[in-house]
């Protein structure tokens, strides 16, 4: 499955998106190698969303700098034909800083990048 197809799958299945992010987040937090999956019990989706929002708040300044300033989201957003293309491009830009950049990007785009970059 390519990233455009995966993005469309995530758009159709937010549970999969949040569970995947949580597994990658926990693997990184525990220091597991990238090819080793976190196999612990998953909390409820509401709890995962809460954990993500806490993570987001703690990383907001860096994400703003990367997305809004360096990536220049506001000027580049019209360049992409659809949301999936934007997500792929932005996640590739964030990949050096975040191993779970695809899921992070998807969730932040869903939250609203226009509003985020206006801050």
pLDDT, tens only, 77-113: 889 989 999 999 999 999 999 989 999 999 999 999 9
Q: For position 17, what pLDDT does the model report?
A: 95
pLDDT, tens only, 40-68: 678 999 999 999 999 999 999 999 999 99
Residue 110 corresponds to which tokens in the numbers above?
A: 């869903």
Q: For position 46, what pLDDT does the model report?
A: 96
Separation CA 17–CA 45 (nearest Å):
10
Query: Do 65 and 71 meet the contact criterion of CB atoms below 8 Å apart?
Result: no
pTM of the model: 0.86
Cβ atoms within 10 A of the Cβ of 104, count? 24
40 DSSP assignment: S
């Amino acid at each position: 499955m390519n990233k455009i197809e995966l993005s469309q799958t995530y758009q159709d299945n937010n549970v999969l998106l949040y569970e995947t992010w949580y597994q990658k987040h926990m693997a990184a937090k525990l220091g597991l190698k990238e090819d080793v999956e976190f196999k612990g019990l998953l909390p409820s989706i509401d709890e995962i969303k809460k954990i993500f929002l806490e993570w987001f708040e703690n990383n907001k300044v860096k994400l703003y700098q990367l997305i809004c300033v360096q990536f220049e989201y506001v000027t580049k957003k019209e360049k992409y034909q659809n949301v999936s293309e934007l997500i792929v491009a932005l996640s590739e830009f964030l990949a050096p800083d975040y191993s779970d950049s695809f899921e992070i990007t998807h969730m932040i785009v869903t939250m609203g990048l226009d509003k985020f970059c206006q801050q």
